[in-house]
A and B are shown apart, each in its own frame.
Chain A
Amino acid sequence: MATPASVHAHAPQGFIRKYIFSLDHKVIGIQYFFLALTAVFVGMFLSLLMRIHLIWPAAVLPLVGEIKPETYLSLLTMHGTIMVFFVLTTAPQGGFGNYFLPIQIGAPDMAFPVLNMLSFWTTFVGFVVIIAAFFVTGGAPLHGWTGYTPLSALPSAGPGEQLGADLWIASIAIFCIASLMGALNFITTTLDLRAKGMTMMRMPLTVWSWFITAILGLLAFGVLLSAGILLLMDRNLGTSFYVPLVVVNGQIMGHKGGSPLLWQHLFWFFGHPEVYIAILPGMGVASQVLSTFSRKPIFGYRAMVYAMLSIGFFGFMVWGHHMFMSGMSPYSAFAFSILTMCIGVPSAIKTFNWLGTMYKGRIRFHTPMLYAIGFVSLFVSGGLSGPFLAQPVLDIQLHDTYFVVGHFHLIMGVAAIFGIFAATYYWFPKMFGRMMNEPMGKLHFFLTLAGTYAIFMPMHYLGMAGQTRRYSQFTEVAYQQKLLPLQTFMTYAAIITIAAQFIFVINLFWSMFKGPKASDNPWESTTLEWTTATPPPHDNFGGVTPVVHHGPYEYGVPGAPRDYVMQTDPATSTTH
């Protein structure tokens, strides 16, 4: 019989196999986490440059120089792409999903460990390729993260649309392949590797969220991959899938008959599910953390599961709401509008249940809990503007304004980031065996919460006032002058918020090496990762397989010896 000691003996010892090309899902999860951390700082730096340029367009910045209008477009393209793909998709799913999904279902690893490693390194190559776009002739592309054609399909359309745009498309295609490999692994692992007793309805909501996200990824990334291949062919092989007869700088291009709207349909068929790929894991983490720190079972577990499933389902039926301005039939717009507003129902169920979970709870305001509450706050604030944009008559006014920028940054960007922060502060002790500094964590939270609201709430007013997005300069436009003070305020808020993130980074690295040692279950949580050693051994459970007897959120159980019942505690008559 194997013992925990023998398990450790079997763990890989060489540096390369242990830390670089590791097959261990925990190491791969940490690799994803640090890749996303690198990417988020790149993306954040780009946003800082944009904010500075909007207020001081003539400023000459160290290392960067003067930002030209086309450079501004490159910055926003790369900011959006890096953030959406390499941060919001990579960290919650690739990072925490990889690390904790197998442990939370009682498995020693992912179903296909080699595929898992390949998935990470393919993502890494995708990141290197997109960063390379900054350094090639012409620089990074300027067609926005949505890559609308024909701009993205014509190398002569702008300085960044040459090799930089090819690298951008190649990077997205590589990322798609990596995500598909990951999704395949997540689905198989969830369905096939659950420990005895871990029924689907005993899975933590985090596992449900990673599972549903993987299904969305499996169905969505293939479409983006196809769309990207057609785009590459239009750019390099002279085909006309997306490009109509078009004139650039007085010169007729060799294309004809293509449809720019075809790209939009294919892109948004991926693009809208991508919103849920980014946010669903955050929902799972928020549920997990709110229940743990409220010391109450999650309110309406089954309703939460069905709400996530229906959000995922509806997510594939609403892509047209990004295209109300494309001249689509009003009947189509009506259908997309109604379906979009339907998503409000499961979203409201989730919000109600989060509040219900906290109601009359014995709340412990640790940093992960603060971030989970922040997540709910941002989800509500960003979500409430969704039904406005879902209505074609309002969207026609608000489309391509800062209102949209404020909406999606709150709901998809910052809310998802708060989910990542909640996950980091919550699982850091398990991952690294030490506690993070609480006062620094709380300071980081309050600065980030106030900062993000200060940046993104004013954008709604700017949008309603008609200020358009993607414009690099407003300072020279007379009728925009009244809005400049608000833009200036947002830039200062962005500088402070970005500076606050260094508190997190210092806390992260300091705590990894110097933080107080963590016990196996410092938060008194119930799920399987807290039943094993900190950090978990190579096979996760030290040579034994757990048997699950309880649901994932049994807190405050009457008659139980403690205020929580671990999932592996023996079944008793007082619990179910």
Chain B
Amino acid sequence: MATYTPSSPIDHIGHGHKPPMPPAGGGDDGRSGGDAPNYGARLRRARLGLICGIATVCMVFISLTSAYIVRKGLPTFDGASNSYVRDWGRVDLPWLLLAINTAILLVSSITMEFARRKAAREAALAPVKSIPGVSLGNERSFPWLGITVLLGISFLAGQWLAWGELHARGFFVDTNPSSSFAFLLTIAHAIHLGGGMIALIWAASASLLRKPVESRRIVVDITAWYWHFMAVLWIYVFALLGFAK
């Protein structure tokens, strides 16, 4: 029969319909482990999940890139000339508009980083602030998250304009394989960035709804790293469309 020996009680069991909070990481792999959940452990867990998510998105874009390279190199049979020809074509991308969009996204990445650092500072100072009689003075509060949301919306609006411009120049998703990939890659990036926008709005609302400062910091931290990844991914997509024409 079982000889289970209870060792250490946990003090964070389920709350209402929610499952019990998982404990901090365990094993004997050099981590503290085994104690009640804490802010650091939750942050580490969320970052680990984010790394897995980023790995998935990377695989999606790696496979699209491989398709891009293969399709670009393929000849197709031309009945008129009775020979194999390249049908890749070229796309007249709205470079200026895309460059402005790139700049907007990069600036948003910087503002997001400021938001992340601000949230981290608030979380670090929260215990000090809670001590009666201790004041840290009137710290200037700049709405970095709100600015990032606006910049994100501007980027997506800019991409919308770029797609419209492509249509105006006669390039549609089925015009040639090159235009197919131009739409596919930029829209795929926009969809992923849209996910980041939802996370951003969630992070901003967490701030407005006065969620616990630690929870807010975790949301902002994860969103920030994802947002940076989206900026890097966009530069990759932009370079692929620009240099592998």
Question: A: which residues have CB within 8 A of B?
Answer: 1-2, 6-7, 10-12, 14, 17, 23-25, 105-113, 115, 180, 183-185, 187-189, 191-200, 202, 218-223, 225-227, 229-230, 233, 237-241, 244-245, 256-259, 262, 265-266, 269, 519-521, 530-532, 538-539, 543-547, 566, 568-570
Contact = CB atoms under 8 A, between A and B. Distances in A.
Contacts of B5: 547, 568-570
Contacts of A6: 13
28 contacts: A1-B11, A7-B13, A12-B14, A105-B26, A107-B26, A108-B19, A108-B21, A108-B23, A113-B18, A184-B56, A185-B49, A189-B22, A191-B25, A196-B34, A198-B26, A218-B52, A222-B59, A227-B67, A241-B67, A245-B76, A265-B70, A520-B2, A538-B14, A539-B13, A543-B9, A545-B7, A545-B10, A566-B4
A515 to B, nearest CB: 19
B180 to A, nearest CB: 4
A230 B77 CA distance: 21
B1 interface: yes
Interface string B57-73: 11110111011001100
B244 interface: no
Given A12-B17, A109-B22, A259-B74, A566 B28 contact: no
Contact of A197 (B11, B26, B64): B26
Given A192-B25, A196-B28, A223-B63, A531 B173 contact: no
Contact of A183 (B52, B62, B76): B52
A239 B76 contact: no
Given A183-B52, A184-B52, A241 B4 contact: no
Contact of A106 (B26, B52, B71, B76): B26
Interface residues on B, range: 35 or more
A194 B87 CA distance: 54
Given A187-B52, A195-B34, A256-B76, A108 B10 contact: yes
A117 to B, nearest CB: 10
Interface of B: 1-11, 13-23, 25-29, 33-34, 41, 44-45, 48-49, 52-53, 55-60, 62-64, 66-67, 70-71, 74-77, 79, 87, 173-174, 177, 180, 184, 188
B11 A199 contact: no
A10 B16 contact: yes
Contacts of B53: 184
Contact of A241 (B18, B77, B180): B180
A43 B85 CA distance: 45
Given A7-B13, A227-B63, A230-B64, 14 more contacts: A10-B20, A109-B19, A192-B25, A195-B34, A196-B27, A196-B34, A199-B27, A223-B59, A223-B63, A229-B184, A257-B75, A257-B76, A544-B9, A545-B23
Contacts of B75: 257
Contacts of A545: 7-10, 23, 34
B71 A258 contact: yes
Given A256-B87, A265-B70, A569-B5, A194 B17 contact: no
Nearest to B85: A257
B34 A244 contact: no
Contacts of A570: 5
Contacts of B4: 531-532, 546, 566, 568
A239 B178 CA distance: 10
Given A7-B20, A198-B26, A192 B34 contact: no
A24 B14 CA distance: 10
Contacts of B177: 239-241, 257-258
B67 A569 contact: no
B240 to A, nearest CB: 14
